[in-house]
Structure 1
Amino acid sequence: MSGLLALLDDVAAIAKVAATSLDDIAGQAAKAGAKAAGAVIDDAAVAPKYVQGFAPARELPIVGKIALGSIRNKLLILLPAALLLSAFAPWAITPILMLGGLYLCFEGAEKVWHVLRPSAAHADGHDAATDTAANLETEKVAGAVKTDFILSAEIMTIALASLPEQGVLVQAISLALVAVGITALVYGGVAVIVKADDAGLWLARAGRLAPTRALGRGIVRVMPGFLTTLTAVGTAAMIWVGGSIVVHGLESFGITQPGHWIEAQAEAAAHALPDFPGAVTWAVTAFFDGIFGLALGFLLIPLVARIIDPALRAARSLLAR
């Protein structure tokens, strides 16, 4: 009996250690996911545009296809790549983060440029009239998954950089939790957003009570402005996160002047408004990170258009032969 009790005591101790480890992993995953919040916001803001113009019946299937492509990107490609980097080339994490930050700056600045110069956006637009609905849906999903891959790479790299030094298994489980949790959060939210106007229309028509019908009409009226605001927030988050990543990356290479200048402006603003020092410091830092990111993005636009894109097209042409 004493042996059985000792065995049960050992099992209980092992279970307690396992539960503590799971709590630690969940906590690390949550913190790592929070570090990637800016890129997550951008991911959520970008995704709804890929279902615009399709029949309502196709909206959720399209979101589902993009979500499936996103989880494949994260679990089958990015997670193993992140673990390999952590094990064999941890020095490469910061440069990769900076490349991703430059991409975010470029994408955000390009959106701002298209707002300032709408003719440039129309010139680059795709002639959807020549495509069937099925081909257009396939093309949209492929484009969305490609964009998601870049954003997911940034999310996973940020998450990896924020994890403490742990064993490979703990890192893998933590990153997997980040991948699944963020994908569910982003595309669950996207599904709600893209169907909100349909839900509002149904309430406006079928609601039994006047307040219910009024709520439905309000949802229908609000959603176009909400989507516009979401796009603007996503663009701002893209530029801010990209600029912040590049500024911090430069510091790791000894180029501290931009980061120190932004920090000085944030401290001066916090002293000027002492009632809310934390909020003021964050807002000013984000503002100047965003200005830095926007300037970088504008510099990258002609570089991409005149050098990088032609080089990539030439490389694809050579590989196709």
Structure 2
Amino acid sequence: MTLELDGLTHRYEDESAVREVSFAMESGELVGLLGPSGCGKTTLVQAVAGHLRPTAGRVLLRGDDVTDLPPEQRHVSVVFQRPTLYPHMSVSENVAYGLAADGMDREKREARTREYLDLVDLADQSDSHPSELSGGQKRRVELARALAPQPDVLLLDEPLSGLDPTLRERLRDEIARVQRETDVTTLFVTHDQEDAMALSDRLVVMNEGTVAGIGRPRQLYEAPPTPFVASFLGRSNALRAMLTSRDPLTVNLAGKSLILDGTDVDCPEGGDILCHVRPEDLSLHSVDTDESEVSLPGTVSRVVDLGRRYDVTVRTQTGEELLVEVTAQPPDLDSDVVVSLPVEYITVFD
């Protein structure tokens, strides 16, 4: 493994920032570290980079314990959330800065600088200064500067934050291309689910300082391990049901008895469980559907036109609200409908 976090824990005085965080990254892997603000992502980045000594646990690089080593001895590069280019230096001087600090001779330094400016398509801006660059160009210079020392691990700390949607998507594609071409092991830190899903080979989802889920993006999206992952990694509807049998797992949802094959929960018979289903997996009808689906009568309480789709909110007869994605013409406000939940798309939690 290139990078391993083993039971990493850190406290700021009496406040716990991260607790017992453990995961590993293989060589050339791009792992997304995803979670809301305040979940501990920045603390983990600082611990890996060497800017913070964790309260407990270890950071290992290529099998060596580097927990107590300073940043300059870790061979880890960071692209921070805020721009960090030196305004008085040219683009090429910014990229070469770390190479000079490492003692690389001038000829090799210039060749390496040209190589990585070519990589990010900024060779023609080598003599420009940061004030002459666009926001996206500045991000690409910082990426070239971080990659030029050829680190073991590249840390990208919210590199797309603050960019407009078009530039954000373009730079996201650029990061993916550069990472593929360099094959550098990369930890991509973000609070944006779409960026994480689009870029990552695997995701580590954080919540309140702990790991809520680890897996491939599609796996976590389709079979979330916890209600938090279900709600944070995309949109989710949650419905309460009662567990009526454990073998096979059978629940009573909206008056219907449903057998959920291949599912297990740590809940006694007669106990309450939570059923999760994505808005895009629901459908609207004017009459009840077949028995393979749960049918919930309700009334349309809100319709939002989002261009490529409509978000339709339905208040069911039990008082719960369900969000349904609709691509065709939506029903009228206050109209009576039936929401259909295909059994195969239902995930259950304790």
Shared fold per TM-score greater than 0.5 = no
Q: Which category describes the TM-score, using the shorter chain as reference length? A: under 0.3
How does the TM-score come out when normalised to structure 1? 0.20
Higher RCO (CA-CA < 8 Å; seq separation 6+): 1
Higher helix share: 1
Higher strand share: 2
Larger Rg: 2
